[in-house]
Structure 1
Amino acid sequence: MPEHTPTPLDLTLDAAALTAALVDFPSVSGGEKALADAVEEALRALPHLTVDRDGDAIVARTDLGRDERVILAGHLDTVPIADNVPSRLDADGILWGCGTSDMKSGVAVQLRIAAGLPAPNRDLTFVFYDNEEVEAERNGLLRLTRNHPEWLAADFAVLMEPSDGVVEGGCQGTLRVRIPVGGVRAHSARSWLGENAIHAAAPVLARLADYVPRRVDIEGLEYREGLNAVAIEGGVAGNVVPDACAVTVNFRFAPDRSEEQALAHVREVFDGYHVELTDTAPGALPGLSHPAAAAFVAAAGGGARAKFGWTDVARFSTLGVPAVNYGPGDPNLAHKRDEHVAVRAVHDCETRLTGWLTA
């Protein structure tokens, strides 16, 4: 990983230049400290904000006595770099580098608003957190919900996840199950003496192949579910009929189902098999009927779509805070070696958020 000499963040830079500065802080999950330090230092220099820190998560708040409080949240970490740091700006106005799309362009917009709007029309809470790109138990936002839920009290939240400048409401829930299938081990030259567990998994795969996923409309947004095998394990050696096999199935479910309802549905699909739950996370309803959300959708261009995938809006939902995904990055470019973001998209995102917060 390229070394980076910590330097102060200049919040007077335009949003695209600030994105480049953020990208040039390597901050792979678990290594965000230098960037978190720089973010904290920059925010503490702003007299209109109260700044707190928990680990490598920074929370800054205005306290203007407004009728409504809104959270702007984004994660500081990236996936491992792939020879794509430092950043590079080309002649066509495209900024290249790890995290440009997911999601340092969104973080740059947060920082620009934190510095440039000392008196917004709503009180603001800015949340910058660590370890989003790894397992849930390390997630900095989850840690904040446990350690300091009062820091996250709000009427509405915008998670600056890449959404290509379109509001994405709520998110799908997700769960994974493991379905073991047994057999009898034997020499493959005398296979009639055994029962092949891998062959016995065929009906499980057939049920998946025949499954028709549900589409459901929630608050005008269409969510599409999916039930898919994502792993299969089995086999002993090249001359052995295996006596064990297991299929891992991932269910992406619409947010009108609870985790319990989703699991019950999967058990129904695989009736007759033992179904072991290995992990689960709830979805989040769009919440677009909330006045703050409706105003935000209008300010962002008037359109909204369902979020396919799981994001931290679900954590805000568990706190009773309606939330949407909205950021300048393209989600299809996240985690790619050629990750990039259009400078214009970053500026447009800042302009729309600023308009909403000053109208």
Structure 2
Amino acid sequence: MMGNAYVIVVDGLGVGAQEDAKEYGDEHMNTLGHISQKTGVQLPNLQKMGIGNILPLASIPENENPLSAFGKLREVSAGKDSTTGHWEIAGIQLEKPFPTYPDGFPEDVIKAFCEGIGVEKALCNKPYSGTEVIRDFGEEHLKTGYPIVYTSADSVFQIACHEDVVSIDKLYEWCEYTRNQIMVGKHEVGRVIARPFTGKPGSFERISDKRHDYSSLPPQNNLVQKLYDAGVKTYSIGKVADLFAGEGFTQYRPTKSNAEGISQLLSLMSADLDNSFVFVNLIDTDQLFGHRLDPEGYAGSLREFDRAIPAIVSKIREGDLLIITGDHGNDPCSNSTDHSREFVPLLVFPKGVAISEDLKTGDTFSNIACSVAEFFGVEHDFPGRSFLN
């Protein structure tokens, strides 16, 4: 049997501000460091892997004999969002960032959107928190039927609609139209996102498992597509496939929560896979706790993942590769609900496959793409270098 490679992205898990973080207003961010200091979180299994060796952590000591090779990776692409981060992990470096809209979308964009889907107007059209936007505009949406359109510091066009006003299937149609007809050319955002919600005024709730991301099409020269074209079976767990517009995956498994993502991963690992690449995103840390400035919730989500580490490691066969990393930061101990420009952690198991136990600071997230491509013997021209023997 041929080996399998598993890449687990803990969404929003940063390990300290990058050298260029000041350009993004993020010079004081340190997601994992601040959570450790603020909550005293204990992560015994990740500690055994060596996460405390990557940076000083108040509640997680170094390990003299870590199970994994350890280090951190620098993002070189312009941006700090999930699409940019996952694309760089897959070997795509963006010199030009996706467009953002700190003052809302231009009038011509909103006009084209409304005319295209057949509504008179859109509500909000500002950068907004996803929970606050339905609180502040949800009642008007119920009365008028007008969709709520908003953005964030990321390159996103988000459409929120109550499921009783606009069916989820209709919302998906609107998003697909917006992706393909409106947010193109100079307005090609990283993602158009469907944000359905439910409930009554004063108690609206997002239907997180029905969220759907419509990504910009990635360049074909990326790790997932290269592996797929070479005959490697490729699996997405969580929102990964959405970030690659569904391109290059043998199978994708959407998830409602980190618990389900971990369950799906363990299920695949028990299925006698061979010659397979499994790309996992665990979103709760970012979506539920980072954006909502909830360090205790974030810490709890990390503990949930930590408890799963022994089961995951036990299913790694001889000849397999496991990589744990992040895609950007999202410091819940800050005053910002946005992503942050941070290094991300790198744990490589088993450590014997790595060039050294201490991998220090890699020049790009794309070191992962180089390493996984090398693992499967697939030729590539990704930027970066492999950290494997």
TM-score by length of 1: 0.31
TM-score by length of 2: 0.29
The structure with higher relative contact order (CA 8 Å, sep 6+) is: 2
Decide which structure has the larger Cα Rg and report it: 1
Higher strand share: 1
